[in-house]
Amino acid sequence: MKQPTFHDLTNVDVLPEELFRRTEADLSFFVEKVKPIIEAVRTEGDEALIRFAKDFDRVTADRMSIRAEENEFEEAFARMDPKVIESIKYAAENIRVFHEAQKPEEMWLKEMRPGAFAGDRHVPIDSVACYVPRGKGSFPSVLLMTAIPAIVAGVPRPIVITPPGPDGKVDDATLVAARLVGIKEIYKCGGAQGVAAVAYGTQTVPKCLKIVGPGSPWVVTAKRQLSHLIDPGTPAGPSEGVVLADDTVNPSLAALDLIIESEHGPDSSAYLVTNSREVAEGVIAALPGLWAKLDPKRAEFSQTVLCGEHGGIVLTKDFETAIEWVNEYAPEHLEILSEEPLAVMNRIRNAGEILLGNYTPVTLGNFVLGPNAVLPTNGAAKTAGPLSVFDYMKRISVGYVTRAGYDELAEQAHGFAVYEGFSSHALAVSPLRKEIIKNGK
């Protein structure tokens, strides 16, 4: 059995740059391959989507409707295990409550000076496409995380795009989740072709203003190439997780949580970072036994990640360096295992989410806790945060100046306008304005 990659940094003063690279960082392989896919969807529309469903998604069905039909929803409910439906409802409620609490007030105004008011209105975006991947499994949880904030924000037309299975249908759990949260439109197109479909619009798929949700490098590349046509949203590529552990941690527990994100696929990243050699060695010793308990496919994914270039065990000379490593890496998911996780959290600046203590594994955050699990990847957590209700809304600035407040602001604005050489700006706040208003012409 392969051995986890071990990075001993105890005698290193400068953190190795190669440890911060992700598979998503170099998309050069995909750039030229994505271009013809995008062009085919632009010129051929639905015909290209049907062809790519056969070529890329291995659809063998004689007929495939691009939009999920009503009977498909009904059949999905009939086939689904009631316990799974109950879990979907449970998660949906927590996610809804969280995002409703997050939703800003529709408008606020503050009196900046006597008689002069300024503020913001929050307005939902007209149309948003929620991308739900399927290549490495089915992800009703992603539908909940992307669709519920759209519903809470009040998006008039939230839709879902997702790759079809070989039978030309959407997986049952995704259909059930969609119907439970109020999504009416699901379209069977994934990958770069799905992104192109909502960027341009086809005979069936509506053109959307924004796309949200995680995806493969094909999806990430297509989003970048089409960003002039559709807002690509927060960068969300292959999964990545970091477990930060001090010397108080049970190594078996740290190993248990380390494998969570590593099972997503070979393009994922997963690291244990610790200043304790005992913890590091204990995790390495515990991993084979945990891999033996996994589904063989997931075990293979986990071993590929943890024994490869984008995962493993990082041992630092002290805990301060371990924290420095985390802040530089800016992981999508960060678990803090420590007797004082709150104290450690206060020293973390960069992470998509922070999960604290022995009873908060990434699993809970991914599915049922409530905060959004669509998170920035590839270091984007240094400047971006989780998907939120704000991603489905836009702010419109509001200003209102009364007659009583006008004179003071006009005098100061006139000085700016003259200095910057904008004569029409200056004229608009000159005595001419009051003269026009007074005369009513």
Per-residue pLDDT of the chain (441 residues; tens, 9 = 90+): 689 999 999 998 889 998 998 876 678 889 999 999 999 999 999 999 999 999 999 999 888 999 999 999 999 999 999 999 999 999 999 999 999 999 999 999 999 999 999 999 999 999 999 999 987 668 999 999 999 999 999 999 999 999 999 999 999 999 999 999 999 999 999 999 999 999 999 999 999 999 999 988 899 999 999 999 999 998 787 899 999 999 999 999 999 999 999 998 898 999 999 999 999 999 999 999 999 999 999 999 999 999 999 999 999 999 999 999 999 999 999 999 999 999 999 999 999 999 999 999 999 999 999 999 999 999 999 999 999 999 999 999 999 999 999 999 999 999 999 999 999 999 999 999 999 999 876
Residue at a domain's end among 234, 262, 288: 234
Domain annotation covers residue 203 = yes
Q: What distance in Å separates the CA atoms of residue 365 and residue 386, rounded to the nearest whole number?
A: 12
Q: Are residues 221 and 325 in the same domain?
A: no
Is the Cβ–Cβ distance between 171 and 165 less than 8 Å?
yes
Q: Are residues 277 and 308 in the same domain?
A: yes
Q: Are residues 230 and 255 in the same domain?
A: no
Domain annotation covers residue 388 = no
Q: Are residues 86 and 206 in the same domain?
A: yes
Domain annotation covers residue 383 = no
Report the SS3 class of residue 336.
strand
pTM of the model: 0.92
> How many domains are there within the chain?
3
Domain annotation covers residue 22 = no
Nearest CA among 348, 312, 305, 346 for reference residue 330: 348
Residue 198's domain comprises 28-234
Q: Are residues 224 and 249 in the same domain?
A: no
CATH number at residue 174: 3.40.50.1980
Is the Cβ–Cβ distance between 59 and 112 less than 8 Å?
no
Q: Are residues 153 and 196 in the same domain?
A: yes
Q: Are residues 265 and 213 in the same domain?
A: no
Domain annotation covers residue 71 = yes
Catalytic residues, by residue number, are: 332-333
Q: What distance in Å separates the CA atoms of residue 5 and residue 378, rounded to the nearest whole number?
A: 20
Q: Are residues 76 and 45 in the same domain?
A: yes
Residue at a domain's end among 234, 253, 284: 234
Domain annotation covers residue 380 = no
Domain annotation covers residue 313 = yes
Q: Are residues 309 and 205 in the same domain?
A: no
Domain annotation covers residue 410 = yes
Q: Are residues 126 and 93 in the same domain?
A: yes
> How far is the first Cα of the chain from the last one, in angstroms, to the nearest whole number?
86
Q: Are residues 298 and 269 in the same domain?
A: yes
Residue at a domain's end among 201, 234, 267: 234
Q: Are residues 93 and 214 in the same domain?
A: yes
CB atoms within 10 A of CB 149: 31
